[in-house]
């Protein structure tokens, strides 16, 4: 057994040594003879790369408007729900008591309102009419007593002292009664606006208790907490038996119970560098550009929306590196974000590909926008492009008719177009299949160095 292990180690050493020697030889030969690559024909895309986070179209946090103990949790995280589906059921006892109290307050306020309206009607009619009649009655009696008092004053000899005094005192007494009756009339008139104000106050109180009753009835109905949209449950926070505080009793507006995500529409909120946002704006559909009319919206039909984009953004995520997703630019945010001196703009891309159901919110995504694109052109590796005689750009190719041992090269000036960082579009100078040096042979390197020193 020991001998077998030794043999295996020796064989392994020989193989590794051979591979290393072959690699060194190959590198040595490339350094001497140079290395070529043939131009090819294909498409070239000038991409704009950005990163972002996958988000649902809507993320709804459902809070409790009602108070009570959690009796039932009908859905769990990951469950799909429809609009109106039961999520959580609360005990109704507390809210039923609140409804009963609010109903009693409402009924009491209604009775008080009715009483103030009766008082107002009485002030406008019976009380006012009675006061007016009392004034009129005293005024009529006052005319006779005044006449009798004046006769007693004018003809004192006709009346004995007691009768004279009685006529004068009767007149003066009725004057006082008239003043009192007029004061009562004024009081009756002033009672009308006070009664009107009382009616307004009780009407407001009645309306307030009506609203309180409505709120209590609404909270009672909210003991069954349902989903407000079609989506997927992301979080369920309470436990069975936990006592929930409603929105009317807490500053925060109620306990957060469930988070539901609208997963039918997923977006990537990408961060585009300020140097690239101009090119993204140029390829964006009209509805995505800042300042578009409010009536202009991305079509609900994603297929129709895709027709307005020549090249749809390509999306990749770390979890599915072998898959590519596509999307449509929906919105470009006009306000930049700044972090550590780096300025970026947020761009929402709606994911439209059929495989989007594999994605989850929170995943980091790489987005590649196509700003320029050419098809069926000659492509040259950027490693082969050099500055030649006269400062012209071009490539070196093996000199025609020279033997391999001479390692002679020939410079071909070219015109280049789009450059994606690895390959450039060749507009003039080369044809498909031409061998170009991506690493010049040793002799050519020495000649270039010598020319630089002599120049």
Q: Find the mean pLDDT for residues 409-413.
A: 93
Q: Find the mean pLDDT for residues 240-257.
A: 75
Q: Which of 121-135, 163-177, 289-303, 321-335 has the highest mean pLDDT?
A: 321-335
pLDDT at 17 > cutoff 90: no
Tens-digit pLDDT profile for residues 272-299: 999 999 999 988 999 999 999 988 999 8
Q: Find the mean pLDDT for residues 17-29.
A: 45
Confidence of residue 376 (pLDDT cuts 50, 70, 90): very high
Sketch out the chain's domains with CATH numbers: 32-41+376-454 (2.40.420.20), 48-57+265-374 (2.40.30.170), 65-90+223-254 (2.40.50.100), 97-221 (1.10.287.620)
What is the per-residue pLDDT for 128? 87
Question: Out of 10-19, 32-41, 60-69, 311-320, which region has the weakest mean confidence (pLDDT)?
Answer: 10-19
Confidence of residue 326 (pLDDT cuts 50, 70, 90): very high
pLDDT at 25 > cutoff 50: no
What is the per-residue pLDDT for 372? 83
What is the per-residue pLDDT for 286? 92
Q: Find the mean pLDDT for residues 181-210.
A: 92
Q: Find the mean pLDDT for residues 344-367.
A: 94
Tens-digit pLDDT profile for residues 93-105: 888 999 999 999 9
Question: Out of 136-145, 199-208, 357-366, 437-446, which region has the weakest mean confidence (pLDDT)?
Answer: 437-446
Confidence of residue 90 (pLDDT cuts 50, 70, 90): very high
pLDDT at 237 > cutoff 80: yes
More confident residue, 45 or 23: 45
More confident residue, 1 or 433: 433
Question: Out of 6-15, 100-109, 347-356, which region has the weakest mean confidence (pLDDT)?
Answer: 6-15
pLDDT at 455 > cutoff 60: no
Confidence of residue 435 (pLDDT cuts 50, 70, 90): very high
pTM of the entire structure? 0.60
pLDDT at 144 > cutoff 60: yes
Q: Find the mean pLDDT for residues 4-28.
A: 51
Q: Find the mean pLDDT for residues 199-221.
A: 92
More confident residue, 34 or 156: 34
Distance of alpha carbon 311 from alpha carbon 331, whole angstroms: 16
More confident residue, 181 or 235: 235
What is the per-residue pLDDT for 149? 83
Confidence of residue 21 (pLDDT cuts 50, 70, 90): very low
pLDDT at 227 > cutoff 90: yes
What is the per-residue pLDDT for 264? 86
Question: Out of 32-41, 209-218, 421-430, which region has the weakest mean confidence (pLDDT)?
Answer: 32-41
What is the per-residue pLDDT for 47? 85
Q: What is the mean pLDDT of the chain?
A: 86
What is the per-residue pLDDT for 248? 60
């Amino acid at each position: 057994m020991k001998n077998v292990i030794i043999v295996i180690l020796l064989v392994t050493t020989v193989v590794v040594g051979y591979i290393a020697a072959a690699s060194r030889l190959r590198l040595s030969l490339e350094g001497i003879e140079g290395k070529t690559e043939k131009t090819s024909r294909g498409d070239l895309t000038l991409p704009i790369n950005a990163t972002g986070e996958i988000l649902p179209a809507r993320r709804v946090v459902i809070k409790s408007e009602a108070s009570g103990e959690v009796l039932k949790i009908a859905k769990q995280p990951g469950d799909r729900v429809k609009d109106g589906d039961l999520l959580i059921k609360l005990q109704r006892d507390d809210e039923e008591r609140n409804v009963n109290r609010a109903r009693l307050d409402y009924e009491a306020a209604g009775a008080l309102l009715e009483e103030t309206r009766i008082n107002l009607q009485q002030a406008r009619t019976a009380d006012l009419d009675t006061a007016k009649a009392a004034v009129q009655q005293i005024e009529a009696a006052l005319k006779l007593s005044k006449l009798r008092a004046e006769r007693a004053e004018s003809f004192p000899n006709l009346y004995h002292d007691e009768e004279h005094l009685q006529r004068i005192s009767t007149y003066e007494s009725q004057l006082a009664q008239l003043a009192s009756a007029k004061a009562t009339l004024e009081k009756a008139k002033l009672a009308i606006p006070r009664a009107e104000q009382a009616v307004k106050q009780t009407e407001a109180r009645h309306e307030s208790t009506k609203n309180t009753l409505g709120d209590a009835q609404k909270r009672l109905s909210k003991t069954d907490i349902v989903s407000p949209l079609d989506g997927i449950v992301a979080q369920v926070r309470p436990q069975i038996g936990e006592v929930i505080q409603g929105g009317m009793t807490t500053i925060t507006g109620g306990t957060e119970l469930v988070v539901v995500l609208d997963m039918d529409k997923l977006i990537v909120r990408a961060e585009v560098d300020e140097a690239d946002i101009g090119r993204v704006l140029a390829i964006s559909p009209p509805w995505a550009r800042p300042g578009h009319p409010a009536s202009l919206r991305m079509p609900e039909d994603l297929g129709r929306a895709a027709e307005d984009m020549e090249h749809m953004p390509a999306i990749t995520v770390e979890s599915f590196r072998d898959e590519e997703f596509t999307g449509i630019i929906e919105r470009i945010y006009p306000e930049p974000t700044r972090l550590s001196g780096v300025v970026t703009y947020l761009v929402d891309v709606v994911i439209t590909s059929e495989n989007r159901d594999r994605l989850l919110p929170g995943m980091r995504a790489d987005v590649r926008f196509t700003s320029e694109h050419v098809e069926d052109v000659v492509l040259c590796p950027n490693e082969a492009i050099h500055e030649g005689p006269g400062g012209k750009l071009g490539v070196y190719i093996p000199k025609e008719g020279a033997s391999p041992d001479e390692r002679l090269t020939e410079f071909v000036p070219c015109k280049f177009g789009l450059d994606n960082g690895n390959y450039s579009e060749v507009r003039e100078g080369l044809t498909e299949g031409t061998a170009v040096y991506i690493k010049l042979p040793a002799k050519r390197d020495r000649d270039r160095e010598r020319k630089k020193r002599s120049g």
